[in-house]
Amino acid sequence: MSKIVVTGGLGFIGSHTVVELQSQGFEVVVIDNLSNSSIEVLDGIESISGKKPIFSAIDLREKAAVQEFFKEHNDVAGVIHFAASKAVGESVHNPLLYYENNLGALVYILQELEKKEDAHFIFSSSCTVYGQAEVMPIAETTPIQPALSPYGNTKQIGEEIISDVVKVSNINAILLRYFNPIGSHPSAEIGELPIGVPQNLVPFITQTGMGLRAELSVYGNDYPTVDGTCVRDYIHVVDLAKAHVIALQRLLGKKNIEPLEIFNLGTGKGSSVLEVITAFEKVSGQKLPYKIVGRREGDVTEAYANTDKANTVLGWKTVSTLEEAMASAWKWEQKIRTSTEFSAKKV
């Protein structure tokens, strides 16, 4: 079966995608520098799929290392590129780190794929490319607004780089603009594993539920939304991982209509921060302590997807509810707090 490279393959979305790829018979090579992940995730992947992927810890920001990797793995059929820094708030305070990590690595990978006669590339993009869209839900044809953070800007620039490259190369690519991944594998063998301070809402909720944090900070309740808190489209990570495999199969099967295609991946439904808290309280059976604080720089008011294109063209749609996703996230949080499996790093 085809060999697929997954960069950032021990991260949250990457690890779940590796599991789905292996379940479909693909040979997977994971690249991850472990800067925001743990080597123990390999064991979790193996326990689910019965096979441990090939692993490389190269730094994708080092051009020579990337060149050497693709010389060694010259039979790669496709690349799914997750590896990137992804925290909106951090990017505002450290923009150069984000431009180096998110764009330098992308260029080096594309330079290697450009050498191949036939290359397939899946790019982990984001709904942040839309900025604060004027109309909901957000479709692929929604105009791109100026990015509200350096992180969002790296995704916009990354898409533009790929668009330019496919016009003059044998690379076929799909950009997957996904919304807010949450949850974990139902086995609780892999899940979101924030190193140090979380960058996403749900780990903050589950850590607060475990008593690791005194209370959850909710950033702003004066937005023009159903309850004043920000609204996002929260998608179960397993549903999201399956979409990556379907997109890859589309490229490998030469079913793509254009050399570059774009799909939104979400549930099509927006949920507010307070609604996510309520879902957690329902599945956990406990009240979550939280406080309202000021707005956070870089946050958009609301963002949820129009998924018609992915539903019809890819034949993909989400199956998990918000409560199911929160239940799996809670199960995962409870596991990692009561086991020594991830003792190598503070999580």
Task: Report pLDDT for 343.
Answer: 46
What tens digit of pLDDT does each residue of 307-326 get? Answer: 999 999 999 999 999 999 99
Let me know if 234 is a catalytic residue: no
Task: Report pLDDT for 212.
Answer: 95
Q: Of 151, 168, 50, 155, which Cα lies nearest the Cα of 113?
A: 168
Task: Report pLDDT for 135.
Answer: 94
What tens digit of pLDDT does each residue of 261-270 get? Answer: 999 999 999 9
What tens digit of pLDDT does each residue of 26-85 get? Answer: 999 999 999 989 999 999 999 999 999 999 999 999 999 999 999 999 999 999 999 999
DSSP one-letter string for 195-245: SSS-SSHHHHHHHHHTTSSS-EEEE-S-SSSSSSS-EE-EEEHHHHHHHHH
| pLDDT(101) > 60 | yes
CA distance linking residue 224 with residue 254, whole number of Å: 44
Task: Report pLDDT for 199.
Answer: 82
What tens digit of pLDDT does each residue of 50-65 get? Answer: 999 999 999 999 999 9
pLDDT (average), residues 202-221? 97
CA distance linking residue 25 with residue 20, whole number of Å: 9
List the catalytic residue out of 151, 223, 234, 304. 151
For the chain, the structural domain boundaries read 3-338
Instruction: Return the CATH superfamily for domain 3-338.
Output: NAD(P)-binding Rossmann-like Domain (3.40.50.720)
Task: Report pLDDT for 149.
Answer: 86
Kindly report whether the global pTM for this prediction surpasses the value 0.85.
yes
pLDDT (average), residues 147-151? 87
Is residue 340 very low, low, confident or very high in pLDDT (cuts 50, 70, 90)? low
